[in-house]
Structure 1
Amino acid sequence: MSFLQKSPQAGTQSLRRTVQLLRELSQAGEHGASAGELAKRCDLTRATAYRLLGALAEEGLVIHATGVRRYFLGPFAYEMGLRAFPRLGLRELCAGTVSKLAETTGECVFLVMRSGLDTVCLDRQTGEFAVEEMPVDIGSRRPLGVGLSSIAILGALPESEREAIMRANGMRYRETGLLAAERIRLMVKRTAKDRFAFTASDYIDNVGGFALPIRNPVDGVAFAALSIASGVKRMTAPRGKEIVPLLETAVHTIESRL
């Protein structure tokens, strides 16, 4: 019997645990994670983690690298992503706009999308003056609220929704060691008022930037963001008067294509 073929309640619980494991493996990226690490992150016993990971490995969704005793996303996860992406191809839709922004400004441009309580970096294009200190790569997943684009998305959501998200991610904010939840809350409030996000060495030393949310044209809900980041000395308030209009034009172009 499959590990999902149980009572409806048990099956749903197993499914949620399985999705959580896959989400954590996705966040672990090329370094993978051990069964013990995954069990701790997902609040599972080691026995449960081993059982679910074993079933995922049998289906090709997970690979177990025995030499290093770590798990990685498997080939079937990649195949599913390829099949889903043409329908969810925000990255392709925005590729020209993102590249043009990087070329025009000379800075690093990020396209980030919301995924539940997280954000995922869909694209990153570097310009002439891009700095090396920024660790966010394509595929990077972080709690919603950590990162400039995250702040832009949160600031565009209704107050009750963004407060619920920040409460849910409170423990994760502390675990990142980057910012306290209260500091994130203040940045989100400022963003809601200004309608764009701004940072200056808040997340990464000597890095600053600006970001704007991308809204679903059907319901107006923010689901992604476009940001420009560089050395903090290049991301001054006067420079913002040049960059924010460029972001506004880019976001309008993207939303008109959706």
Structure 2
Amino acid sequence: MAILKLLSTIDVPVSASRIRAELELPRSTTYHLLHALVDEGFVVHLPENQTYGLGLAAYSMAQAYSTQQPLVRMVSKELRAIAEMVSGSGHLSRLAGSEVVYLQEVRAPGAMSLVTEKGVRLQAHKTASGRSMMALLPTEEARAIFAFNGEGAGWRAMRERLDAVRTAGYEMENEEVSRGQASFAVAIKDHLGRPAAAVAVTYPISRVAEAHKAEVLHRLQAAAQSAGRKMYGS
């Protein structure tokens, strides 16, 4: 991390000797760390002048952070209000490979603690949030996510479910993640119509009347549409 921090503060690629001197690292340690960072794409080696700079993976992380934080601020207040309507929890998540990673969780007073806390990763196809985003992906991408998680044999049923989610504009689940809890999830679309993130609300099944669910879903869809419009012009 110290190497990445150093490279982020210098405008031009620098030599390994300068990195070693700035950070007071042993020569062998410096090269070992640089090779590992190059292999992972966080640092790029420029052989023509034997220097190192930030790689694509580092820039991708920075871009993801700059996108996520405005989204978190944008949806948190409305997610909290929706969560309080059902004495439950609101969530913001995004796809990360074959998983969903939860960026934000807000809870109504007294709401139970769930597995879907900030920073938690779950298999995308096993969550309402994940499926709401998978439904907006090209079939090949969605199938790759499904197959990566070792579920290739059931793809036909999953494809039909994703088709239904795409048509409905939302996904729901009952006790698939937490016992006694149900969820609605709606994807936030970017300017290309791809899933940028998803908002979801999880609530205790026994405490929310059927007639009340339509209002909850409407608020959640409005929150997703508003975030997409403000963030991406979608």
Q: TM-score range by the shorter chain?
A: 0.5 to 0.7
CA contact (8 A) 1:4 1:15 kept: no
CA contact (8 A) 1:149 1:226 kept: yes
CA contact (8 A) 2:136 2:193 kept: no
Q: For the structure 1 residues 130 and 192, does the alpha-carbon distance in structure 2 shift closer, same or farther, using more than 3 Å as the test?
A: same
> Pick from 93, 98, 116: which aligns with 1:112?
93
Counterpart of 1:74?
none
CA contact (8 A) 1:155 1:195 kept: no
> Alpha-carbon deviation of 1:119?
1.4
> Pick from 146, 162, 165: which aligns with 1:191?
165
Does 1:228 find its partner at 2:209?
no
Equivalence map 1:154-233=2 (5 Å):
154-170=134-150, 185=159, 187-216=161-190, 218-233=191-206
TM-score, with structure 1 as normaliser: 0.59
> Alpha-carbon deviation of 1:130?
2.5
> Alpha-carbon deviation of 1:92?
2.3
Does 1:249 find its partner at 2:215?
no
- Whichever residue aligns with residue 225 of structure 1, its letter is A
Does 1:146 find its partner at 2:126?
yes
- Whichever residue aligns with residue 149 of structure 1, its letter is S
Counterpart of 1:15?
40
CA contact (8 A) 1:108 1:130 kept: yes
Q: For the structure 1 residues 163 and 85, does the alpha-carbon distance in structure 2 shift closer, same or farther, using more than 3 Å as the test?
A: closer
TM-score, with structure 2 as normaliser: 0.65
Q: For the structure 1 residues 87 and 233, does the alpha-carbon distance in structure 2 shift closer, same or farther, using more than 3 Å as the test?
A: closer
- Whichever residue aligns with residue 151 of structure 1, its letter is R
CA distance in 2, matches of 1:88, 1:160: 26
Structure 1 gaps of 5+ residues are 20-76, 175-179
Structure 2 gaps of 5+ residues are 1-27, 44-57
| Percentage of identical aligned residues | 18
CA distance in 2, matches of 1:167, 1:3: 35
Q: For the structure 1 residues 91 and 168, does the alpha-carbon distance in structure 2 shift closer, same or farther, using more than 3 Å as the test?
A: same
> Alpha-carbon deviation of 1:131?
3.0
Q: Larger radius of gyration, structure 1 or 2?
A: 2
CA distance in 2, matches of 1:236, 1:151: 24
- Whichever residue aligns with residue 135 of structure 1, its letter is V
> Alpha-carbon deviation of 1:236?
6.1
Does 1:102 find its partner at 2:127?
no
CA contact (8 A) 2:85 2:216 kept: no
CA distance in 2, matches of 1:82, 1:155: 26
CA distance in 2, matches of 1:194, 1:237: 18
Q: For the structure 1 residues 136 and 88, does the alpha-carbon distance in structure 2 shift closer, same or farther, using more than 3 Å as the test?
A: closer
Count of residues in correspondence between the two structures: 185
Instruction: Report the secondary structure of 1:109's partner residue.
Output: strand
CA distance in 1, matches of 2:90, 2:145: 25
